[in-house]
Amino acid sequence: MPGPPPTALQPRKTPRQSRSRVTVEAIFEATIQVLLRGGMNELTTTRVAERAGVSVGTMYQYFPNKQALVYALNARYLDALAARIEATCREHAGAPLGQMVEALINTYWTAKTERADVTRALYRSVAELNNDVLIHAFAERVDRATTEMLASACDAVFPDVPRANLALVTVIYGTVRNAFERGVSDQEAAALRQDLTTMCRAYLANFRA
Amino acid sequence: MPGPPPTALQPRKTPRQSRSRVTVEAIFEATIQVLLRGGMNELTTTRVAERAGVSVGTMYQYFPNKQALVYALNARYLDALAARIEATCREHAGAPLGQMVEALINTYWTAKTERADVTRALYRSVAELNNDVLIHAFAERVDRATTEMLASACDAVFPDVPRANLALVTVIYGTVRNAFERGVSDQEAAALRQDLTTMCRAYLANFRA
DNA sequence: CCAAAACCTGAAGCCTTCCTCATATTCTGA
DNA sequence: TCAGAATATGAGGAAGGCTTCAGGTTTTGG
């Protein structure tokens, strides 16, 4: 049961005028760029500010420290990802299991690969954070959506929905991530994705009504 | 095709006398401990040396820099892990598919969970390394073993062994890792592990002779 | 037993980084 | 229009980290 994010990691103040919204946006984008080039080791406040075209002081007006910046960036990313998954789940409420699996894998896979380098950079950056809160919040939110979807399947009845859900999402998210880390080729990725779908379908077949 | 590890990351010299072997061992252990406490951010050379009961200078006699230390630690861990997987694969050459899957999952899962905190710490530490070389070397070595095992199955014939292998290992390794990151309970873990086995078996059933 | 090799020490130099703050600029609302 | 709020600046203080090296101690091989 994760509490709220540590106060030391919360944003300092939220931009009110449009110019500052642009600034914050630039800072986020710059952070990604720096992360892409040199990873966490070379992510310095000066470098980010420089790349964003603002001064260090400006950065510190919105983020109390460096960690908070990376934290916010990841929170932002996960929020968008969760929203996409939720949308997929809504769209497939009441559908047959097969379609659900395919849709879920498709959404997740696409979200991760459409900007593969960014995904990788974030995967790495989040590793040095106190990411438990982030991860849990994300997991909880997304679990709610997928569980609900599964329970609504028109051609299945689950003796234990949360269990089936956990198996599904863990396998899917884990596989995608591992595929990333291995740096599989496009060909391999395509085959892998197909096989992953096969596996999930075969698993869910056990619950056919 | 990854080359050899960057020279900047190679150990400086290998201990010859037994006392220095003890020292190096202590340094490794200390590194793990420090990593456990505070992660990469708090891993400083001074702290590691202090915890190991040696002076900083000693550390630098064996590792040219801090990164090399973490690199070596991970290389060591992956080497042991690979050895265990290879052993499992040898033991199950010619066995039926079902047993192979179960054994592989068992070995990997056990290896990761018997010292869960260490596993987690290393997962995190490796994220800030130039880990491509490490990952690839590990993957290649382990793939060789598992592929060979699969090909030897007494009750199956694969149209494309490497493909089936990639699917299997990516799903297994990825799932285990993701389970870690979510911090699943023991109960959930047990169920998940069972379901993972079910999935893999169902997948492999497609190749039954 | 002794010389050479291996090993260990830890204070100190150098460098980078984070973050603040006093000041300047821009915007908003009445 | 203009006062006050919001935003931006960037040099510099303070802290801490990495790494070296000159000089000790221990071990080994003969």
User: What's the whole-number mean pLDDT along residues B32-46?
Assistant: 95
Q: What is the span of the domain harbouring residue B85?
A: 7-207
Element of type H or E holding B70: helix B66-91
A85 Cβ partners below 8 Å, 6+ apart?
A104, A107, A108, A142, A145, A146
**A124-128, B19-23, B68-72: which has the minimum mean pLDDT?**
A124-128
Q: What is the pLDDT of residue B29?
A: 97
- Within a domain: residue A2? no
- Within a domain: residue B196? yes
| A177 closest CB neighbour out of B164, B174, B192 | B174
For every residue of A54-121, DSSP letters joined together read S-HHHHHHH-SSHHHHHHHHHHHHHHHHHHHHHHHHHHTTT--HHHHHHHHHHHHHHHHHTTHHHHHH
Residue B113 scores a pLDDT above 70: yes
3-class secondary structure, B44:
coil
User: What's the whole-number mean pLDDT along residues A61-84?
Assistant: 97
A24-69 per-position pLDDT tens digit: 999 999 999 999 999 999 999 999 999 999 999 999 999 999 999 9
Q: What is the pLDDT of residue B9?
A: 85
- Within a domain: residue B132? yes
| Percentage, residues of chain A above pLDDT 70 | 97
Burial class (CB in 10 A: 0-12, 13-18, 19+), A111: middle
Supply the mean pLDDT for chain A: 94
Give B83's Cβ-side CA count (13 Å radius): 6
Kindly indicate the confidence band of residue A12, based on its pLDDT and cuts at 50, 70 and 90.
confident
CA end-to-end distance (rounded Å), chain A: 34
**A112-116, A127-131, B90-94, B190-194: which has the minimum mean pLDDT?**
A127-131
CA distance A5 to B32: 27
3-class secondary structure, B6:
coil
Residue A5 scores a pLDDT above 60: no
Q: What is the pLDDT of residue B169?
A: 98
Residue A207 scores a pLDDT above 70: yes
Kindly indicate the confidence band of residue B135, based on its pLDDT and cuts at 50, 70 and 90.
very high
Are the beta carbons of B32 and A121 closer than 8 angstroms? no
User: What's the whole-number mean pLDDT along residues A151-169?
Assistant: 97
Q: What is the pLDDT of residue A21?
A: 97
- Whether B41 CB is under 7 Å from strand C: no
**Chain A residues bordering chain B (beta-carbon distance below 8 Å):** 39-41, 123-124, 127-128, 132, 135-136, 139, 163-164, 166-167, 170-171, 173-179, 181-184, 188, 191-192, 195-196, 198-200, 202-203, 205-206
* Region label for A132, one of left (φ > 0), alpha (ψ between -120 and 50) or beta (otherwise): alpha
Kindly indicate the confidence band of residue A3, based on its pLDDT and cuts at 50, 70 and 90.
very low
- Whether A185 CB is under 7 Å from strand C: no
Kindly indicate the confidence band of residue A6, based on its pLDDT and cuts at 50, 70 and 90.
low
Residue A190 scores a pLDDT above 80: yes
Q: What CATH number is attached to the domain comprising B196? A: 1.10.357.10
Kindly indicate the confidence band of residue B157, based on its pLDDT and cuts at 50, 70 and 90.
very high
User: What's the whole-number mean pLDDT along residues A188-208?
Assistant: 97
Q: What is the pLDDT of residue A2?
A: 38
- Within a domain: residue A108? yes
User: What's the whole-number mean pLDDT along residues A76-82?
Assistant: 98
Domains identified in chain A, total number: 1
Q: What is the total residue count of chain B?
A: 209
Residue B3 scores a pLDDT above 50: no
Q: What is the pLDDT of residue B105?
A: 98
Residue A162 token pair: 């949360």
- Within a domain: residue A1? no
Residue B6 scores a pLDDT above 90: no
User: What's the whole-number mean pLDDT along residues B121-148?
Assistant: 94
CA distance A175 to A157: 26
**Contact assignment for A199 to B167 by CB distance below 8 Å:** yes
Residue nearest to nucleotide D21 (CA to C1'): B57
- Whether A5 CB is under 7 Å from strand D: no
Are the beta carbons of A127 and B127 closer than 8 angstroms? yes
Supply the mean pLDDT for chain B: 94
Interior angle at CA B170, CA B168 and CA B175, nearest 5: 100
- Higher pLDDT, residue B158 or A10: B158
CA distances from A185 to A111, A112, A189, B161, B176 (A): 17, 15, 6, 17, 22
User: Which positions on chain D have an atom < 7 Å from some protein CB?
Assistant: 6-12, 16-22, 26-28
Residue B8 scores a pLDDT above 90: no
Phi, psi of B16 (to 5 degrees): -105, -45
User: What's the whole-number mean pLDDT along residues B3-27?
Assistant: 85
